[in-house]
Amino acid sequence: MKRPQLFISIEEAQNRLLRVLSERVSLSTERIHIVDSLSRVASELIRAPMSRPRTNLSAVDGYAVRSLDTTGASIFNPIELIVKSVLKPGEDPDKVCIEPGYAIRVHTGAPVPCKADAVIMDEDVKVQGSTILIQRSVAPGSNIILRGEDIEEGDVIVKPGLLIQPAHIAALASLGIDTINVYRKIRVSLIAIGDELIEPGHSLNYSKEFNSSTYIIYAQLVKDGIFQVRYAGIVPDDVKTILTTIKSEFERGSDIIITTGGTGVGETDKVSELLEKYSSLIFRGVKMRPGRMTSASLMYGKPIIHLSGFPVAAWAGYELILRPAIAKWIGIEGFERPVIYAYLSRRVPNISGYNSIIRVALTIKNGEYYAEPYMLRGSGVISSLLKTHGYIIIPENIEGFEEGEKVPVYLYR
């Protein structure tokens, strides 16, 4: 296959897929309980319905006072205040005001009554029956957590596209919100194509290979949390059977089908024939290695991504084309991989005309990361993913990265 000039850039591939996803797949939303919303994508804007704290709170155990009442207090000139008991449970602190000359008992985290603008710690008062003696003046605001200090009423807590994390769930709970609108999961069917494939757990002869590419994609989809994944099994290199399986998966309600395998140009590779005769092409081949045979097409009006039968190339097609396209489509915030910057431990040449996806193992020395490129580059070399922590991308217009160059590394997790 010597025609890189026909291949498109990674970004162009993502964008074409994005267009098709926007036009062809409609993602309804559903209202779910917040405890089930981890790693789901929010589809609504949620503003805080109240402030947090709702009212001024005491930061300590002590006495709420008007700070003015304490002016001039000292050991030699202690000021006496009359103690009133705590606010009654359920009483609105904005409606129970403190009068001059009084102090109200408060515990840590308890509301401070209105007109009180400071809290004196237990350690700083002398209790005398129903009064306290204050031997030091307090500044306004002392030991008070202000209403809205954490979250102000009206603050945006969740935006459409947010990938929901534990802290968002806690924030919603703390504001009394127990349900949230999220996009429904994207229904993906996986089909493994190839006469030569058998499932692990069976016995092998020399014309067979264990299916592994569908497994890495399946696990990756599950890990990403926004998919409802179905594995449709292995189908042989027979166009009719492949078509029937694709049709039946779409009829079951799949939004997207992912095939692995059959993307070569040998006589037994049937994706070419599918693409030429039965589908409307979205793209065929991307300027990247591994994963250059990654293609996409429309069949029965829905998008199909054709990933390589080689596990690392299949992984690259998902990681660099489909996953970012889906993130753009839904507008997911917080879906990108964590990036670290590392010094390359050796020169890495590029393959002319391609973006090279190089897997690297990381080490840390004196607060700096160093990246050791994994030397075996084959698209079937699974050890390249097992023994590394992330990957770098050498852009197509660059001859390579030099030893010692600082480059961004995208972490797998």
- By CB under 8 A, what part of segment 190-209 binds its own copies? 199-208
Q: How far apart are CB 14 and its own copies at their closest, in Å?
A: 21
Using the rule CB under 8 A, is 374 a contact of its own copies?
no
Give the range of 23-31, 276-284, 346-354, 403-411 binding its own copies by CB under 8 A: 403-411
What is the rounded CA–CA span in Å between residue 237 and residue 245? 12
Q: How far apart are CB 222 and its own copies at their closest, in Å?
A: 5
Give the range of 22-30, 107-115, 277-285, 348-356 binding its own copies by CB under 8 A: 107-115
What is the rounded CA–CA span in Å between residue 162 and residue 42? 5
Q: Are strands 348-349 and 355-365 parallel, antiparallel or unpaired?
A: unpaired
Using the rule CB under 8 A, is 181 a contact of its own copies?
no
What is the rounded CA–CA span in Å between residue 272 and residue 258? 15
For the packed helices 10-24 and 323-330, what is the interaxial angle rounded to 10 degrees?
50
**Closer residue to its own copies (CB): 24 or 33:** 33
**Closer residue to its own copies (CB): 55 or 131:** 55
Amino acid found at 91: E
Task: Find the binder of its own copies among 11, 12, 149, 403 (CB under 8 A).
Answer: 149
HSE at residue 157, side-chain half, CA atoms within 13 A, is: 26
Task: Find the binder of its own copies among 15, 22, 174, 228 (CB under 8 A).
Answer: 174
Give the range of 148-156, 271-279, 297-305, 346-354 binding its own copies by CB under 8 A: 148-156
Task: Find the binder of its own copies among 250, 315, 391, 401 (CB under 8 A).
Answer: 315
Specify whether the CB–CB gap between 210 and 66 falls below 8 A: no
Using the rule CB under 8 A, is 5 a contact of its own copies?
no
Q: Which of 289, 294, 293 is nearest to 348 (CA)?
A: 289
Kindly state the tokens that stand for 387.
């023994």
Buried/exposed code over 393-406 (b: 16+ C-beta within 10 A; e: otherwise): bbebeeeebeeeee
Site for its own copies in 39-68 (CB under 8 A): 39, 52-55, 59, 61
* Alpha helix segments (H runs only) across 107-201: 166-174
**Closer residue to its own copies (CB): 25 or 59:** 59
Site for its own copies in 223-262 (CB under 8 A): 223, 231
Q: Are strands 125-128 and 131-134 parallel, antiparallel or unpaired?
A: antiparallel
Site for its own copies in 269-308 (CB under 8 A): none
Site residue total, its own copies (CB under 8 A): 94
Using the rule CB under 8 A, is 173 a contact of its own copies?
yes
Q: How far apart are CB 16 and its own copies at their closest, in Å?
A: 25
Task: Find the binder of its own copies among 28, 77, 89, 397 (CB under 8 A).
Answer: 89
Task: Find the binder of its own copies among 211, 263, 279, 294 (CB under 8 A).
Answer: 211
Buried/exposed code over 124-158 (b: 16+ C-beta within 10 A; e: otherwise): bbeeeeebbebbebbeeebbbbebbeebeeeeebb
